[in-house]
């Protein structure tokens, strides 16, 4: 498993934050805000795998790009970036040694907090 930073997703997240499409919630809110498997499936059916990938900062190039296993570190609900998702992902990335992803999530958190 070699999870890399998904650059198109990072650009997408930055654009959403700049456009004000952010939920300024707290870390513990992510468990409620994260999309369910059914919501993910509906999004994929409607918008496709490329758009789905744009909501995940981690991508495993060793996995089939048309499976959910290829994507990790979600940060939003397919409409807005959730501060809670960014915080949760940053913590998880740090725990598992994904430093580039951790640093990207930290930069997103700073961007969200600077937009206040």
- Confidence category of residue 26, pLDDT binned at 50, 70, 90: confident
* Confidence (pTM): 0.94
Res. 28: pLDDT tops 90: no
- Confidence category of residue 96, pLDDT binned at 50, 70, 90: very high
Q: What value does the mean pLDDT take over residues 82-96?
A: 96
- Confidence category of residue 112, pLDDT binned at 50, 70, 90: very high
Res. 53: pLDDT tops 60: yes
Residue 4 pairs in a beta bridge with: 59
Burial class (CB in 10 A: 0-12, 13-18, 19+), 95: exposed
Burial class (CB in 10 A: 0-12, 13-18, 19+), 36: exposed
């Amino acid at each position: 498993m070699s999870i890399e930073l998904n650059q198109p997703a990072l650009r997408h997240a930055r654009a959403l934050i700049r456009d004000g499409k952010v939920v300024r919630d707290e870390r513990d809110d992510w468990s409620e805000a994260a999309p369910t498997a059914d919501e993910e499936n509906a999004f994929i059916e409607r918008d496709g795998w490329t758009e789905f990938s744009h909501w995940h900062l981690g991508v495993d190039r060793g996995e089939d790009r048309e499976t959910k296993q290829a994507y990790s570190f979600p940060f939003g609900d397919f409409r807005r970036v959730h501060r809670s998702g960014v915080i949760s992902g940053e913590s998880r990335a740090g725990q598992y040694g994904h430093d580039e992803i951790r640093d990207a999530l930290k930069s997103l958190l700073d961007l969200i907090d600077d937009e206040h």
